[in-house]
Every structure is written in C-alpha cells, then in structure tokens.
Amino acid sequence: MISSFNLQFSFHFKGKEQGEMTRLFTLLFVFVPFLNLSSGKTLKRDVKALNEIKASLGWRVVYAWVGDDPCGDGNLPPWSGITCTLMGDYRVVTELEVHAVSIVGPFPVPVTKLFDLTRLDMHNNKLTGPIPPQIGRLKRLKILNLRWNKLQDVLPSEIGELKSLTHLYLSFNNFKGEIPKELASLPELRYIHLHQNRFSGRIPAELGTLEKLQHLDVGNNHLVGTIKQLISLYGCFPSLRNLYLNNNYLTGGIPAKLASLTNLEILYLSYNKLSGEIPSSIVHHPQLTSLHLDHNQFVGRIPEKLYKHPFLKEMQVFFNSPFLKGAKSIGVPKVLELADSEFLV
C-alpha cells in the first residue's frame, strides 16, 4: 500500500515541491504510531482488574490512582506505578509497582488477572496470608518482588508455571514448608531470594538444573541436609556466582565436588552445623572473592593456598572450635542484609 502511494505521489509532484512533500509525509509516517499509542483503548479486562485492586488497597494508593482508566485517558496520566504497552488496538498493563506504601491485608487476587504483566513489585508493604495459586496465570511475568512483607504459608506449586520468570524476590516474609521443586522448571530463572523465612526440609537438588541461575539465597531459614545432596546432580549450577546457605541446620562437610562450581564468587556457609576438614579443592574456585565458614564445627587446617588466592578479599573462619591454632580470617565481616535495590533490574 505504501509503495502504491509513493507511485501516485511521484506522478503528481515534481522537483523541489516533490522533495518538500516527501519530507512532510515521512514525518506523518513517523508520528502516526505515537498517535495510535495515545488513542488506543485500555483492555477492559485490565481496567476491571485494576479497579478491583484499587478497591482493596489503602488510601495512599487510591489517592494517586485518579480517573477511570489506569493507563490514562488523554487528560489524566496513567495511575502511579502502572506501566501500559500498546498491543494491537489496545493498551495492556505490563508493570505494576506499588511498594513501600503500607498496603495492609491479603495478596490482592485480582492482580492475577493482569495476564500481560512482566513485572510485579509490591515489596515493603504489609501483605499477609499466602500467595494465591492463581499466580500461575501470569505466564509473561519476569520479575516478582514481594520481599519485606508478612506473607506466610507454603509457596504454591503453581509458581512453577511462571515460565518467563527471571527474578524471584520473596525474602523477609514468613513462608514455611519446603522450597517447591517446581522452581526448577523455570528455565529463565537467574535470581532466587528466599532469605529470612521459615522454610524447612532440604533444598531441592533440582535447582541445580537451572542453567541460567546466578544467585541463590536461602539463608536464615530452617533448612536441613548436606551440601553434597544439594550438588548431587551432574553438571549442576553451571552459572551460579553467589550461594548463600548461612543460618540454617546444614550438616556434613564441604564436598570436593563443590570445586566444579567454577563461577562461584561468594559462598556463605556461616551459622550451620557443618563439620570435617576444609578440602584443598576449595582453592580451585578461580573467581572466589568472599568465603564465610564461621560458626560451624570445622576442624583441621585452612588450606594455605587460600591465603594466597588472587581474588579472595574476605574469609571468615572464627568460632570453629576445635580449629587448629593459627587459622585467621581475611577482611572485615559484612552485614548480610541487602538493600532493596540489590540485583533488581
């Protein structure tokens, strides 16, 4: 159709006049998509879901959500924390960010009707109760951030249906039960933050099959088992850089196989019931920068080569009685609490 228009245009205009008209119509073609974006209607399904959410949230959110259309209606801007995207003839809600506004009450189930969400961020509120199983509807969700709430109960197995998920932030809640092995069915998952909950049982070894996983934090829970069990699968955790297992009830020793995690940079094993000698193979982590072994039951000598590791900036080994005399730490202990901005994209 455009080529046909150009032929007619060339026929009617010549020389300088043709050049000016060409520039005019070029500008029109450039700006038409933006005109369509502003004039597109918001999908009724999303409007209904957002208004249901609005009715259940506190006044701090409601007063910033003005107008009938969450994506804006030309006279009013989109609701605060709402991002919309034009898909075909309609605008759909793709991001919902309402954090640190003292939202009180259960997780708003109407959120799970926003099928085009790619980012859901409701961290640092006062949400209570469980994550509903309907969360599995959000097939396009990439980032789920619910940290710093009062959510509880077990994680629904339906979380394993979020096939696009890359970042999972559930730290600082009251979740209990076992970490669902269904997380291992999320092929895009890169970051798992489950710190400071009440998870129990063993860490699923199936998580080791996540080829893109870079960060696993399950510290400050009630987890049991051994590191050997966690890394039992062949070729496990090929991309893992940061592993936080601290403040649990893990037993056994550090298996030599841990050296196969060659991308490992940070290893926190503090405050467990780990025992045995530190294997010399631990020096074979070429990228290791931080190693925390304190408050366990290790014995024997620290491999001398660890003190000569080219990248190791921090190593904590204190409170491991009856460690042999002469074992010394490197660097200054750091607080494990991470800011909300850490690892977010």
Confidence of residue 14 (pLDDT cuts 50, 70, 90): very low
Q: State the pLDDT at residue 263.
A: 97
- Reported as a single tens digit per residue, the pLDDT across 201-216 is 999 999 999 999 999 9
Q: State the pLDDT at residue 300.
A: 86
Taking the C-alpha atoms of residue 101 and residue 111, their distance in angstroms, rounded to an integer, is 17
Q: State the pLDDT at residue 19.
A: 52
Residue 59 or residue 1, greater confidence: 59
Q: State the pLDDT at residue 332.
A: 56
Q: Is the dihedral of CA 106, 111, 112, 113 positive or negative?
A: positive
Q: State the pLDDT at residue 333.
A: 53
Q: State the pLDDT at residue 324.
A: 45
Residue 334 above 70 pLDDT? Answer: no
Q: State the pLDDT at residue 305.
A: 87
Output the six-digit token pair for 144: 């789920």
Which amino acid is present at 166? T
Domains along the chain with CATH numbers: 92-316 (3.80.10.10)
- Reported as a single tens digit per residue, the pLDDT across 80-125 is 999 999 999 999 999 999 998 888 999 999 999 999 999 999 999 9
Listed in order, strand segments (DSSP E) in the chain are 41-42, 82-87, 90-97, 104-106, 119-121, 126-129, 143-145, 150-153, 167-169, 174-177, 191-193, 198-202, 215-217, 222-224, 242-244, 266-268, 275-277, 290-292, 297-299, 314-316
Q: State the pLDDT at residue 56.
A: 83
Kind of pairing between the strands at 82-87 and 90-97: antiparallel
Rg (CA), the chain: 27
Taking the C-alpha atoms of residue 38 and residue 69, their distance in angstroms, rounded to an integer, is 12
Q: How many C-beta atoms lie closer than 10 Å to residue 120's C-beta?
A: 21
Taking the C-alpha atoms of residue 72 and residue 178, their distance in angstroms, rounded to an integer, is 42
Q: State the pLDDT at residue 326.
A: 54
Q: State the pLDDT at residue 343.
A: 43
- Reported as a single tens digit per residue, the pLDDT across 129-170 is 999 999 999 999 999 999 999 999 999 999 999 999 999 999
Residue 20 above 80 pLDDT? Answer: no
Mean pLDDT of 233-240: 97
Taking the C-alpha atoms of residue 338 and residue 322, their distance in angstroms, rounded to an integer, is 32
> Out of 96-110, 222-236, 258-272, which region has the weakest mean confidence (pLDDT)?
96-110
Name the one residue in this structure whose structure tokens are 């998952």: 189
SS3 199: strand
> Out of 37-41, 184-188, 289-293, which region has the weakest mean confidence (pLDDT)?
37-41
Segment holding 37, helix H or strand E: helix 15-39
